[in-house]
A and B are shown apart, each in its own frame.
Chain A
Amino acid sequence: MKHTLKTLMATTAFAAITAQAAAATELEFYFPVAVGGDAAAVIEGMTDAYMAANPDVTIDAIYTGSYADTTTRAITAARGGNAPQLAILLSTDMFAMIDEDLVLPWDDFLTAAEMESWIGGFYPAFMRNSQTDGKTWGIPFQRSTPVIYWNKEAFAAAGLDPDTAPATWDDMVAYGTALTLRDDSGSVTQWGVRIPSSGFPSWLFTGLVASNGQDGLANTAGTEVYFDTPEVVGALEYLVSLAAEHEIMAPGILDWGATPRAFLDGESAIIWTTTGNLTNIRSNATFDFGVGMLPANVRPGAPTGGGNFYLMKGSDDEQTLAAIDFVKWATAPEQAADWSIATGYVAPREDTWETERMQAYAAEVPGALVAREQLAYAVPELSTFEGPRITQIMNDNIAAAIVGDKTPAQAMADAQDAADAVLSIYR
């Protein structure tokens, strides 16, 4: 009996404490995970650390699947009147979120000094898909660029210098030819190159377009696309030729998700994928590998990608201010360094790279620096109004060219027509 009473008292005391905590500001925060590794645990560790330092705020970090699932869930919740305060969505979702009237610009809550020191501290390449119409809609966080990973052992076996990455399109074809191995019956046992084409082929394709000399695929207002230029058609012709003409890449559509596996299993000697896979590959590779910039043609180039923090409408002022404070904390050098090291995402601010931890990490894993150096040549990922639909039009036509249903020129002309039809009402 005495024991029961004690338990009862303890439970009541505990309930009182939690009730008090519940009176504090409560935030809901949706986050996706798009790469291997343990990014979800890292995010939860961050929110726990923030709550420990700020006991009057509770953050409910909700893992919401892929980027597409997270967007679906955020829009559905907002329409139902239960929007989270914060969500990490694709930076390219900016126009859709503006069009749906679901997000707030960050600028309205920041002083001029904060605009300068905080917003101004992010790499400009990342801000190109975070600002439009003179306002800031996204805070770069889960950002990446595509890089190439190459298998040094396979390079050495093929008689190539294991420490030199293919620097140009021609290099990649030459290296790829040396790296493609066939058995006696003519079946390929190791492919030279793998540029995945399921999931979001337009992203990696933007890298080819950038290195072919075109600054992205759309205007900054999100109302015009440039799909049928000679630069774009040339990029697609090169992509198609890797499998069709040079036979250094497997034919057909290559799965995005299986690409790290293909590299780790030695199926492909060079792969193109996000720098966000760095930690995953680093912890699972049984061989020495290198990380390099995307090969250049007219110039070096790569698209930025990944997710931003969005401030959702529908919260009270206290919640909004707490959400902003959390994001400021999460992008501060120490936290951003932890995040970058744990996942491989590019630290989005210069000051993060100056921390001791980041310096030590960069010395240990030089591959981590590649994505940052590549930012100097980065172009924005395809982002427009009706973004998913426009991207799908692009993806379908890239796929059509890869599988040989259309010529590259025909595919891009069709894509331009279809995209113009969708975007005309926004002009």
Chain B
Amino acid sequence: MFRRDWLIALAFLAPALILLFGFTHYPAIQTVIDSFWSTARGRRPAVFVGWDNYARMVQDEIFRRAMINNAIYAAITIPASVALALAMALFVQSRILGRGFLRLAYFTPTVLPLIAVANIWLFFYLPGFGLFEQLRGWAGLSPRNWIGSPDTALYAVTAVTVWAQAGFFMIFYLAALQTIPPSLREAAAIEGCSPLTFFRRVTWPLIMPTTLFISVNATINAFRTVDHIFVMTQGGPNNASMLLLYYIYEQGFRFWDTAYASALTVVMVVLLALVGIGQFFWLDRKVHYR
């Protein structure tokens, strides 16, 4: 009887298990294995090289550059998109004229593919005749080559990311704001508390779980979304806007150095796992006030 239950359970679980193993676990394990081998070429088979691929990373200046860039990129996109999302959510939560239209407008960037967004922004940034340049021209400022200068390229692509994902995060905040019981607001009104105090003492604590969820997502996005890099800078100029995942793509699919790309992937996954575990175990206790 016991065995039969197990068999039935296994039969029901099998399709999901096979898919999960085939598309998630097997590639992950294979990537770890590949990172210890050299890249096979048609004329040369792969050989076991141990930690060579990892040792190469230590020497690799572009890798170092990508790590630093990614750290800057994450340090800006995470707080900026969370703050912008909250500000937009609070704004379109209140009773204002054209609320539905504003909500739609704020959400639009999320619906657009990032590639399309990047193409639009590429023309905003064009030196001389892009939108920003026209505006700067009216203000009497000299033109700048935003994505073509190493000082500004990384920040130019960072701005696109914040613009593109803030609308998505806004939806979660909007949902969270609507779960706050109106009785709290009424009680606060009777007590004569200011909107700022109400936000600080009631709203913000109550939407903390949402903030955690969003910040975890923003962290993953900071490493995961590089679509706009393809369109706007290709990591340039001289690797000024190189991000880790784009570097992995470049090694793996442009240079076909799949072994080195595997090693880089392992590093990225370990990094993300550490950050994710940290956020959940450390912050989770705080936001749920246990």
Contact = CB atoms under 8 A, between A and B. Distances in A.
B129 A265 contact: yes
B259 to A, nearest CB: 14
Interface residues of A, number: 39
Interface stretch (A1-9, A27-35, A40-48, A385-393): A385-393
Contacts of B150: 403, 405
Contacts of B237: 197-198, 252-253, 399-400, 402-403
B121 to A, nearest CB: 12
A253 B236 contact: yes
B253 interface: yes
B284 interface: no
Interface residues of B, number: 32
Interface in B243-290: 250, 253-257
A102 interface: yes
A237 B131 CA distance: 32
Contact of A198 (B137, B236, B254, B257): B236
- Give the 10 A-B residue pairs with the shortest CB-CB distance, closest first: A101-B42, A252-B145, A252-B148, A253-B148, A399-B237, A100-B42, A400-B238, A399-B238, A253-B237, A252-B149
Q: Is the interface of A mostly helix, strand, loop or mixed?
A: loop
B233 interface: yes
A312 B123 CA distance: 38
Interface of B: 41-43, 122-123, 126-129, 137, 140, 142-143, 145, 147-150, 153, 233-234, 236-240, 250, 253-257
B145 A99 contact: no
Interface in A170-197: 185-188, 191, 197
Nearest to B127: A250
A100 to B, nearest CB: 4
Interface in A211-251: 250-251
A402 B42 CA distance: 37
Contact of B128 (A267, A386, A397): A267
14 contacts: A68-B254, A72-B254, A185-B142, A186-B142, A187-B143, A253-B236, A254-B145, A255-B122, A255-B148, A262-B128, A388-B256, A399-B236, A403-B240, A405-B150
A366 interface: no
B52 to A, nearest CB: 14
